[in-house]
Each structure stands twice: as structure tokens, then as C-alpha cells.
């Protein structure tokens, strides 16, 4: 099971570099723009008119579900995760282009950050709700006190902070589908790594924001 939000990087000694899978021939900027557009469309749909369906889940319930999801991630609460999702539910990890299906895989994905991180913090900030959907913007932080598998096989002891968004779709009061949108490049830079590009040089932690 791959760690959640763990990007596809190569580790050479103590240096973390972007793998060829990340640097595809298509424009990275174009990919990011397309993801932002896709997320914007989903937000509009989620917050649009609910129609007259009597079987729809109320907006307050969808807000409660996404808050409970953040709590489950922060605490690695497997029982809560199992209660939130339908057995056949799916969870899309767009950062790594992976889809998890079923309670077992979803539990593994949502609790994987605890395999390498301590002091897990997951704060769900602004939330937009619809009759059967919710979109939440969150801040995640953790201290990397254990290796992150083969991708980061050493311990840095550094804190990482990520911003992202999660979408949930409800059926009958439980989550049938969820999706995470997060840029994992800051994680690599915050761990002291660098990102190499074929023509644009190297992005290192001190160059972020310049």
C-alpha cells in the first residue's frame, strides 16, 4: 500500500528527485490547470440547486460526514472509516493517480500517513455542501519520524504541511465516493529534497516562492 500523498520521486543517497513518471511530456502547468478546472466544476455542482428529490441527504449531514472523515484521518480511526463508507465505495487519490475500492483499501490509504508520521493534524477549513455532496478545504501536517517506504527510506524529523481539498458523494447517508486533490511537491521540498526538470533547472527548498 502506497502512503497517501506520497509523490513519485527517486531517492539518490539523501537527495530526493522527481521521477520520470512525474515529468511527462505533457505540460505540468497544463495538468495543474486542468485539475483546478475540474475541481472548480465539482464545487459548482456541489453547491448548486438541490432539486426536489426527497431521498437526498441534507447539507448539514454532508458537512458532518466530511468533518468526521478528517477526524478519522487524524486519529487513524479504522472503525469510523468503516462506518462512514459503503462497502463498495471508491476513493480517488488524484495526486498519485490511484483509486482505492472497498473498505480495506480505503482504510489502508487514509491511515497510511501514520506509518511515517507523528503529531498528525488534519483541520477541515471552509466547507461547501450540497444535498448529496460536500467539498472541504483542509490543512494537513505531520512530523516525518519514520521512513516513507522506498520513496523516502530515511528519517528527516521534519514537519510537513500540505493544503488540499476533499470531495465526498453520499448515498443513503454514507460515502459512496471520495476524492483528494493535493499538490505533493511541497512535501518533497519540506523534507529537504529537490525537484529536477529537464530544461528549467532544479527547484530546492530555498527557491520556493521566488
From first to last of its 210 residues, the chain has per-residue pLDDT tens of: 455 656 554 444 445 555 544 444 333 444 433 444 444 444 444 444 444 333 455 558 999 999 999 999 999 999 999 999 999 999 999 999 999 999 999 999 999 999 999 999 999 999 999 989 999 999 999 999 999 988 899 999 999 999 999 999 999 999 999 999 999 899 989 999 888 877 766 766 665 544
- CA dihedral of residues 78, 80, 81, 82 (deg, nearest 10): 90
Task: Give the CA angle between residues 75, 76, 79 to the nearest 5°.
Answer: 105
- CA dihedral of residues 28, 31, 35, 36 (deg, nearest 10): 60
Residues 6+ apart with CB under 8 A from 171: 86, 132
pTM: 0.72
> Domains of the chain: which residue ranges?
9-207
Q: Which of 68, 66, 91 lies closest to 79 in space, CA to CA?
A: 68
C-alpha cell at 87: 462497502
For the domain covering 9-207, report its CATH number.
Answer: 3.10.450.50
Angle between helices 102-111 and 59-75 (to 10 degrees): 60
pLDDT digits (tens, 9 = 90+) for 76-107: 999 999 999 999 999 999 999 999 999 999 99
**177 half-sphere exposure, CB direction, 13 A CA radius:** 6
Residues 6+ apart with CB under 8 A from 52: none
Place of cell 472548480: 40
Burial of 183 (0-12, 13-18, 19+ CB in 10 A): middle
Amino acid at each position: 500500500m502506497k502512503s497517501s500523498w506520497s509523490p513519485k520521486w527517486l531517492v539518490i543517497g539523501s537527495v530526493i528527485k522527481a521521477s520520470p513518471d512525474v515529468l511527462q511530456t505533457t505540460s505540468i502547468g497544463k495538468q495543474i490547470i486542468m485539475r483546478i478546472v475540474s475541481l472548480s466544476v465539482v464545487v459548482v455542482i456541489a453547491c448548486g440547486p438541490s432539486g426536489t428529490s426527497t431521498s437526498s441527504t441534507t447539507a448539514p449531514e454532508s458537512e458532518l460526514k466530511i468533518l468526521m472523515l478528517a477526524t478519522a484521518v487524524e486519529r487513524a480511526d479504522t472503525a469510523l472509516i468503516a462506518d462512514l463508507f459503503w462497502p463498495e465505495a471508491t476513493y480517488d487519490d488524484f495526486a498519485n493517480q490511484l483509486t482505492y475500492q472497498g473498505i480495506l483499501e480505503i482504510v489502508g490509504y487514509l491511515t497510511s500517513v501514520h506509518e511515517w508520521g507523528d503529531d498528525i493534524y488534519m483541520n477541515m477549513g471552509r466547507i461547501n455542501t450540497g444535498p448529496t455532496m460536500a467539498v472541504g478545504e483542509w490543512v494537513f501536517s505531520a512530523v516525518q519520524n519514520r521512513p516513507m517506504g522506498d520513496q523516502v527510506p530515511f528519517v528527516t524529523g521534519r514537519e510537513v504541511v500540505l493544503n488540499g481539498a476533499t470531495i465526498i458523494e453520499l448515498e443513503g447517508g454514507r460515502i459512496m465516493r471520495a476524492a483528494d486533490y493535493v499538490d505533493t511537491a511541497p512535501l518533497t521540498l519540506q523534507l529537504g529534497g529537490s525537484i529536477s526538470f529537464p530544461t528549467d533547472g532544479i527547484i530546492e527548498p530555498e527557491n520556493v516562492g521566488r
